[in-house]
Chain A
Amino acid sequence: MTTKTETAAPARFEDLQPLMALMTGDEKHDVAATSTLDALWVLYDRVLRVTPDTAEEQDRDRFLLSKGHGPMAYYAVLAAKGFIDPAVLPSFGGYDSPLGYHPDRTLLPGVEISSGSLGHGLPLAVGTALGLRAQGLTDPAVWVLLGDAEFDEGSNHEAMAFAGAYGLDRLHAVVIDNSSATHGWQGGIAQRFAAEGWSTATVDGRDHEALHRAYTTAHPGRPHVVVARVEPKYS
């Protein structure tokens, strides 16, 4: 499957599970439950203005996967959208594979950051948004995805407070909340962002229409966070 051929049908959400199975060797289990799958799909399918052909353009939208672990859903979406060749998916985790258990931006086209250690993506996204603003590029959006347990890392709080105070309105965060933070977030994650001046939405992370509405909500003058709640990791 070469997704860039003109006759190929557009990829569908249903195409992701077989792509993920190429990495896991597992046709039935776990893959559909991946917490980030729906949020990533809706972003790449309907929101982000970036394609394999524009992945190096300076005015592209940027998506930064901060929560770098469990990247199969990300790789599957990138394969479905033509950024990476599905033929490499079975090499996942291999010595010469470009697909590690955490992504490396220098090995994969379309991957904006190398991640794995938690708490680096939001500060990098802040800097990217600052850099685009400084270059007069007020149109491209910067998106960063993190997890509710990743939110434990203090570096996120440095970046969240600054971005809100600074009014970095081209910055967008998606927090996948599968209730995996050891001590939880009493009162919810969104209120932390709201207290720092962010626009917020909390939605069902499996509801594609709700995700799309939350992603495309106007938020003039403020950064925007979408908290996507999914089934608990530990139940």
Chain B
Amino acid sequence: MDTMRERFVDVTTRLLDEDPRLAVVLADITAAAFEPARERHPDRVVNVGIREQLLIGAAGGLALSGMRPIAHTFASFLVERPFEQLKLSLVHQGVGAVLVSAGGSYDNPAAGRTHMSPGDVALLDTLPDWTVHVPGHPEEAEQLLRHAVADGDRNVYVRLSNHQNAAPVPVEPGRFATVRTGSRGVVLAVGPMLDAVLAATEGLDVTVLYAATVRPFDTAGLRAALGERTDVVLVEPYLEGTSANEAHAALADHPHRVLALGVPRGEHRHYGSMAEHLAAYGLDAASLKERIATFLW
């Protein structure tokens, strides 16, 4: 199976052939893989070098000129480092871009904290009107990328990761999908967390919802999935609590409980593998089973 990032290169290379408005801005990361596309479209595939403020500023300028820009690098350098450019060179200008990240929260923990970006989605929550897709499989990544490019001139964040599920879920952008039904509450698995959530809830009488799009938050979908028990567990592959406010707001007119699981806020000074980090964060299937069962029973 290919990775989401490989699929991103393949899909975008094809979209460049089809859509003359599309432009890709890179900051060295993944530039080699885009070289065939750059050779075919030298004016629409631009590598600015290791300059992330320019990466977003140039995307804003491309949008001002009428293009549909994609900007891409690792999440830490796409969202955290040039954050004011997202606020001002995109949102405040009233223009939109598609930001496609790689690396996520824990894809390459041997690289350390500098290459971990668990706070990216929470940071985007401080800005208005972002769509945030968190695909869990290359098939979903392709679908959501195509949707993002064609999504008017909106600002869209597509968060790609090496952490992925074994099989894709048929998703409708912006809607939660029901994967399993039960009566003792809802577990909302976001993107790559689905396989671990399914393993953790095997034999438990709970509904499992799947979100490959987390912003806008599918309030109606969450409410429709709840029965008499308005207990919700969020399992997100980024900063814990990122969607807690959304869940509370969705259920503001009901007495309810929310358990928000995700990547802890603290500095975690260990290298190692993705699996080791997921276990350390309590996001492996065994840990999730205990935390979910304790909360719901």
Interface residues of A in 96-116 (CB under 8 A from B): 104-106, 112-114
- Bits for B76-107, please: 1 = Cβ < 8 Å to A, else 0: 00000000110011001110000000000000
B114 cross-chain contacts in A, Cβ below 8 A: none
Residue pair A58, B66 in contact (C-beta under 8 Å): yes
Judge if A51 is at the interface, Cβ distance under 8 Å: no
Residue pair A119, B67 in contact (C-beta under 8 Å): no
Sample (15) of A-B pairs whose CB atoms are under 8 Å apart: A105-B93, A106-B94, A113-B64, A120-B60, A124-B60, A126-B57, A127-B57, A127-B62, A128-B61, A128-B62, A131-B67, A133-B43, A134-B23, A161-B51, A162-B51
Known: A123-B57, A124-B64. A130 touches B23 (CB 8 A): yes
Judge if A34 is at the interface, Cβ distance under 8 Å: no
A128 cross-chain contacts in B, Cβ below 8 A: 61-62, 64-65
Query: What total of chain A residues lie within 8 Å of the partner, measured CB to CB?
Result: 31
- A residues whose Cβ falls under 8 Å from a Cβ of B: 58, 104-106, 112-114, 117, 119-120, 122-135, 154-155, 158-159, 161-162, 166
- How many whole Å from A206's CB to the nearest CB in chain B? 30
- B residues whose Cβ falls under 8 Å from a Cβ of A: 20, 23, 25, 43-44, 46, 48-49, 51, 53-54, 56-67, 69, 84-85, 88-89, 92-94
- How many whole Å from A86's CB to the nearest CB in chain B? 25
A124 cross-chain contacts in B, Cβ below 8 A: 57-58, 60-61, 64, 89, 93
Residue pair B61, A130 in contact (C-beta under 8 Å): yes
Known: A125-B61, A127-B65, A130-B43. A158 touches B53 (CB 8 A): yes
B92 cross-chain contacts in A, Cβ below 8 A: 104, 114
A135 cross-chain contacts in B, Cβ below 8 A: 20, 65-67
A104 cross-chain contacts in B, Cβ below 8 A: 92
Residue pair A129, B57 in contact (C-beta under 8 Å): no
